[in-house]
Structure 1
């Protein structure tokens, strides 16, 4: 079934927007009037499916123009070839999101300019205030203490005895050698770190943890895990049956205690030490009031709510804004925003949306685009540290606004501007 908006775009009656599209005589010097008219007719008649449009259009932009129809979206001045076949299907344009710069923040002795894409007024201003407080106090210090992407398939066996035997083998040194060898054969960028296996009835859920260099790494880990399962079949377990490559024990893009406890992606601690005068002058509150607020809201309040990794004020705000600006998988925000003083991250500086030119330019601003040949994984780890420090700034500012009862006034001033 086609998405509803695209069904509307190919309704039998030509729309005014179709006529608007046909006014374009050329794109990049190419005459496309007849081509677009033919493609629209073919899509309307059903002889051409929307998913096949890119194969028949002369260019990705031409395909976008055909799909647009009822969508009031910008579409010009965008390089669609970077997105087609990589980031999105059935493209009809692009969605502009305001991009703000809260300023620079000193992290581990180096200055970083942080990009944030958001539609929430006051967010960039709030983080900027946090930056000022941290910079005035000597900057933020970060420690990255864990780095490993996970994948956990579900494997079924004829009996609980065979399932248990497979669990014991996979967790043994002999089994790990087989699995690690399969990983290395599958990808030179993916290294198996460890495997822990859960047993439920006739099924096992092996949770593979792997290093992925500067990529977020879900695809290469999945490929390597599949290769490892094939190796198991060849080493005494040809009676296993793969139920799914994703058995949810890895808990991708959903809150789960296992990620909160063991981590998934990059785990970072960010710290700063603010003197009382900075708290009073920049954050407009006091040490005692800020500590009281943090305990009452982020700790006790979160416990009362039954929070799972949500012991913070608004970590998701900062993580999402930076992820959007830098081409990250935005759904990973669910796991990446789990924090008290730690951030569990799933980020990368190569692959996926990081290949799009605007997002790549934001990684350039941060100095972490791509990969360093002699330091695999360094840029992605540094990016995780930067995000954690930015979250620290956002937490400081919002908690201070709550402690001083300035939140409502700030939002009314910065988020209610009339046109």
Structure 2
């Protein structure tokens, strides 16, 4: 017998729905709309990066997160800032197709890996967009299945729809060359989107970025309240060895996902893509005279984001993108706004890593969360609930 769970009376009374421009939501961002969810937005910064200052919007309900990231930004400002580079730029889509046999699949794989095969796929793919231009094919085989990973730049868009459209056209071209190719799905999880995957960690997806800084010993002591030696030791044993012990894929950091998710929600990105976008390795080394200065870097190979399309069309999210100077499409330089946003994400992650690792090294984490991350409502809880 089926049971139904009746809604609590007046449950939605506190969900706001008035005074919101739903015209930008319908058919674009959400269906069956009953209201909107306000999330507090804090600002961290200024983040001094590449000689420019950025005030970073962060939408979160986790106390201490903005304050901690802000302390990291202050640390960087007092140290002369950080430097960043975008290493690569290419969204991916990985369909799965099936042949009659593994040997036949191997023949198709071999053709796709020739110059003629790639050019054939590229000609079909490139016809579907003003921006998308097929750059790479990576082909995997499992039995009689082929997994074909298409990679292309996508201008300032995050680009999944663009990639899907081009991939579908390229697969139709492949079927003209090999009529026995059966397309099982335009996505075969070989992309990989919104799931932990070594392929994104190794080959990258979206924007790959790196950010680095050197923190003078005095700033480490006075602002971070710890020492370079303690931070380097903790980074090795927590972020590197500890993550290996846990069998982590791309999780060689303290809390990159915290910063990525907060910026994504504020700036209209797909929050589920925090899964791949928070892939990050944080490295720390002693540097300078006597090895008392701290060198830190964050390398992030799969930052999936855009500054046009989807949630970036909503006015509040556009306001946050405007704070960073990256709203919309970059005139004259397609893709530059999205790449700048990726650099900001990487720089903010660096700031967040600095502050949290320092709090852990100094033993301040629990105290700060008990002070700033406990609602007054909790004071009425019984000891068993605390």
If the length of structure 2 is used for normalisation, what is the TM-score?
Answer: 0.90
Paired with 2:320 and 2:153, the residues of 1 have a C-alpha distance of 24
What is the match of residue 53 of structure 1?
none
What is the match of residue 352 of structure 2?
394
Cα distance per residue 1:322-359 (max 9 Å; x no partner): 00000000000000111103112000000000000000
* Structure 1 residue 328 corresponds to structure 2 residue 269: yes
Pick one of 180, 196, 206 that aligns with 1:255: 196
Q: Is the 8 A contact 1:155 1:203 kept in 2?
A: yes
Pick one of 43, 51, 55 that aligns with 1:109: 51
* Structure 1 residue 356 corresponds to structure 2 residue 314: yes
Instruction: Please show how residues 79-158 of structure 1 align to structure 2 within 5 Å.
Output: 79-158=21-100
Cα distance per residue 1:345-396 (max 9 Å; x no partner): 0000000000000001100000001112310100000000000000000000
Paired with 1:131 and 1:104, the residues of 2 have a C-alpha distance of 6
Instruction: Please show how residues 127-276 of structure 1 align to structure 2 within 5 Å.
Output: 127-234=69-176, 236-276=177-217
Paired with 1:161 and 1:130, the residues of 2 have a C-alpha distance of 55
Paired with 1:141 and 1:173, the residues of 2 have a C-alpha distance of 38
Comparing 193-202 with 70-79, which one deviates more in the overlay?
A: 70-79
Give the C-alpha shift of residue 165 in structure 1.
Answer: 1.5
Paired with 1:404 and 1:93, the residues of 2 have a C-alpha distance of 43
Paired with 2:120 and 2:13, the residues of 1 have a C-alpha distance of 52
Give the C-alpha shift of residue 416 in structure 1.
Answer: 2.0
How many residues of Structure 1 are paired with residues of Structure 2 in the alignment?
A: 357
Paired with 2:171 and 2:85, the residues of 1 have a C-alpha distance of 34
* Structure 1 residue 375 corresponds to structure 2 residue 333: yes
What is the match of residue 300 of structure 1?
241
Tell me: higher relative CO, structure 1 or 2? Use CA pairs within 8 A at least 6 residues apart: 2
Paired with 2:261 and 2:30, the residues of 1 have a C-alpha distance of 19
Larger radius of gyration: 1
Give the C-alpha shift of residue 78 in structure 1.
Answer: 0.7
> Which runs of 5 or more residues in structure 2 are unaligned?
282-297, 378-386
* Structure 1 residue 337 corresponds to structure 2 residue 295: no
SS at match of 1:372: coil
SS at match of 1:270: strand
Tell me: CA distance 1:363–1:237, structure 2 relative to 1, closer, same or farther (3 Å).
Answer: same
Paired with 1:271 and 1:103, the residues of 2 have a C-alpha distance of 17
Paired with 1:331 and 1:145, the residues of 2 have a C-alpha distance of 23
SS at match of 1:114: strand
Paired with 2:202 and 2:147, the residues of 1 have a C-alpha distance of 17
Cα distance per residue 1:102-122 (max 9 Å; x no partner): 221111111111000000000
Q: Is the 8 A contact 1:71 1:92 kept in 2?
A: no
What is the match of residue 280 of structure 1?
221
Cα distance per residue 1:176-229 (max 9 Å; x no partner): 111111112111121101101111111110111111010000001000000000
What is the match of residue 413 of structure 1?
371
Paired with 2:102 and 2:275, the residues of 1 have a C-alpha distance of 34
SS at match of 1:86: coil
Paired with 1:83 and 1:77, the residues of 2 have a C-alpha distance of 13
Give the C-alpha shift of residue 70 in structure 1.
Answer: 4.2
Q: Larger % of helix: which?
A: 1
What is the match of residue 291 of structure 1?
232
Paired with 1:416 and 1:153, the residues of 2 have a C-alpha distance of 46
Give the C-alpha shift of residue 8 in structure 1.
Answer: 4.7
Cα distance per residue 1:9-66 (max 9 Å; x no partner): 9xxxxx7x6xxxxxxxxxxxxxxxxxxxxxxxxxxxxxxxxxxxxxxxxxxxxxxxxx
Instruction: Please show how residues 18-97 of structure 1 align to structure 2 within 5 Å.
Output: 70=12, 72-97=14-39
Q: Larger % of strand: which?
A: 2
Give the C-alpha shift of residue 159 in structure 1.
Answer: 2.0
